Amino acid sequence: MKTDILIVGGSAAGLAGAITARRFYPELKITVVRREDKALVPCGIPYIFGTLGSVDKNVIPDKVLEKNNLDLLVDQVISINKAARIARTAGGESIKYEKMILATGSEPLAPPLEGVEFDNVFTARKDPKYLQKLAEALQKARNVVVIGGGFIGLEFADELSKLDYLDSVSLVEMLPHCLLLACDSEICVKVEREIENAGVSILSDRKAKAILGEGKAEFVEMENGQQLKADLVLLGIGVRPNVKLAGDSGLQVDQKMGIHVDDYMRTSAPHIFAAGDCTRKRCFLTGKASMVRLASIATMEGRVAAGNLFNCRRRAPCPIGVFGTVIGKLAVGSAGFTERAAEREGIEVVVGTASAMDKHPGTLPGAEELTVKLIFMKGSRELIGGQVYGSDKAGYVVNCIGGLIQQRMRADEICVFQMGTHPKLTPSPIAHQIENAAEMALAKDMKR
């Protein structure tokens, strides 16, 4: 088999890369190889078990491949001969290629706990058959323990709280608060209060020691000796880059951080590019290695890699990390540095916070409060982080903040940033949270 462009992996980075490659190179043969029969929406996995109610409702239709004239091979690439430019698959295919994008993604982390091998201990694996098995196991469970209080763990716990047949849902987080890597503590407390109101028991600042049971999980034992009843355990403690294929093929990799790539997403073999969770990333502010892995970053990197296959024309910006979620009725967004993260790096900051209704006047039906917190470096007044919470407008507002961070805008520039407003769509131009939070931070910094 011969193809011009071979894309290994069919999730966020691989699919975005394939579509972009078709736009840039309409005459070339493009082949996508993925392991799974169906491609899942990665961020939709927690919602399979509550809101959606089915694995099949969280699938990316293959019609998008047909629409873009992309060939699909359901198989697994197991080796790459870089010199000959030949990839071999588990199914016995030998694929000759000109250019390649590796988009092998990541694998969920499992902590070194006794009992993680039990059949009723699950992770958020991007595999439809595995997730169907999880859905069936949930039907038989009455007490569930979620280990990990980041976005995935919280979203799982929130969805499970909607299942009437469960007697208890407990969430264990080793840090002082859930979501603490993305939000500052005052916002984390609001999130915890919201999910506790839904019936989830939060055990923060506590660490799981072991998963106990006779052949299956029956209890989660904490380091303080407390035992939580568990018919099923969900692990949501993060992911590690899937670098085995790249490493076995002689590409430069960091087992913990990912495949080494340059600003154009080229690997140590110039004809092979990589994108998504499998690649090594750097913090936008410090330049240090970053653990941020998001589908939004993966698709950006896929577009960069595809655009550069035959002519380098795009540089991939260092990830900022723009997050969003809804827990209960509370929408939360975060971009860039938190105050806590800045303090850890020795960065002095000045903060501005502003609250207002998300429509104007606030008496309009459906209007809700939305709060914005902006974090600037002292002195330079450059925006390095922001958080949003309240109404579901948090999603678009945090993306706006992410854009301001990426453009390295200062507080004085944000104060005069021109935003369109409309009574039914946005806050009042007088009370708009982004400009007002910037004004408050600027006023503080001018007084120092």
* Residue 211 parent element (H or E): strand 208-212
Which pLDDT score, from 0 to 100, does residue 299 have? 97
Residue 430 CB contacts under 8 Å (≥ 6 apart), including other chains: none
Which pLDDT score, from 0 to 100, does residue 448 have? 62
**Rounded to an integer, what distance in angstroms lies between the CA atom of residue 211 and that of residue 229?**
10
**Rounded to an integer, what distance in angstroms lies between the CA atom of residue 142 and that of residue 255?**
38
Residue of 141, 193, 148 lying closest to 163 (CA atoms): 141
**Rounded to an integer, what distance in angstroms lies between the CA atom of residue 211 and that of residue 366?**
45
Q: Which residues of 58-92 are buried (b: 16+ CB within 10 A; e: fewer)?
A: bbbebeebeebebbbbebbbeebebeebbbebeee
**Rounded to an integer, what distance in angstroms lies between the CA atom of residue 147 and that of residue 436?**
38
Pairing assessment for the beta strands 168-173 and 200-204 based on DSSP bridges: parallel
Compute the half-sphere exposure of residue 173: CA atoms within 13 Å on the CB side of its CA: 22
Q: Is the dihedral of CA 55, 58, 63, 69 positive or negative?
A: negative
Q: What is the DSSP string of 100-168?
A: EEE---EEE---S-BTTTSTTEEE--S-HHHHHHHHHHHHH-SEEEEE--SHHHHHHHHHHTT-TT-SE
**Rounded to an integer, what distance in angstroms lies between the CA atom of residue 21 and that of residue 304?**
10
Which pLDDT score, from 0 to 100, does residue 445 have? 85
Residue 361 CB contacts under 8 Å (≥ 6 apart), including other chains: 367, 423, 428
* Residue 195 parent element (H or E): helix 185-197
Nearest 5°: the CA angle 292, 294, 295 is 160
List phi, psi (to 5°) of 143: -130, 120
> pLDDT digit string (tens) for 237-252?
999 999 999 999 999 9
Which pLDDT score, from 0 to 100, does residue 434 have? 97
- Read off the pTM: 0.94
Residue of 161, 222, 162, 150 lying closest to 191 (CA atoms): 150
Partners of 352 in beta bridges: 374
Tell which phi-psi region holds residue 9, choosing left (phi > 0), alpha (psi between -120 and 50) or beta: left
Length of the chain (residues): 448
Tell which phi-psi region holds residue 438, choosing left (phi > 0), alpha (psi between -120 and 50) or beta: alpha
Is residue 280 within 8 Å of 297, Cβ to Cβ?
no
Which pLDDT score, from 0 to 100, does residue 394 have? 97
Residue of 359, 400, 361, 364 lying closest to 383 (CA atoms): 400
Q: How confident is the prediction along the chain (448 residues), in pLDDT tens digits per residue?
A: 999 999 999 999 999 999 999 999 999 999 999 999 999 999 999 999 999 999 999 999 999 999 999 999 999 999 999 999 999 999 999 999 999 999 999 999 988 999 999 999 999 999 999 999 999 999 999 999 999 999 999 999 999 999 999 999 999 999 999 999 999 999 999 999 999 999 999 999 999 999 999 999 999 999 999 999 999 999 999 999 999 999 999 999 999 999 999 999 999 999 999 999 999 999 999 999 999 999 999 999 999 999 999 999 999 999 999 999 999 999 999 999 999 999 999 999 999 999 999 999 999 999 999 999 999 999 999 999 999 999 999 999 999 999 999 999 999 999 999 989 999 999 999 999 999 999 999 999 887 6
Structural domains in the chain plus CATH codes: 2-42+60-106+240-307 (3.50.50.60), 110-237 (3.50.50.60), 329-447 (3.30.390.30)
Partners of 45 in beta bridges: none
Pairing assessment for the beta strands 86-89 and 208-212 based on DSSP bridges: unpaired
**Rounded to an integer, what distance in angstroms lies between the CA atom of residue 285 and that of residue 375?**
13
Whether the upstream peptide bond of residue 176 has omega within 30° of 0, thus cis, is no
Is residue 199 within 8 Å of 230, Cβ to Cβ?
no
CA dihedral defined by 335, 341, 346, 347, rounded to 10 degrees? 20
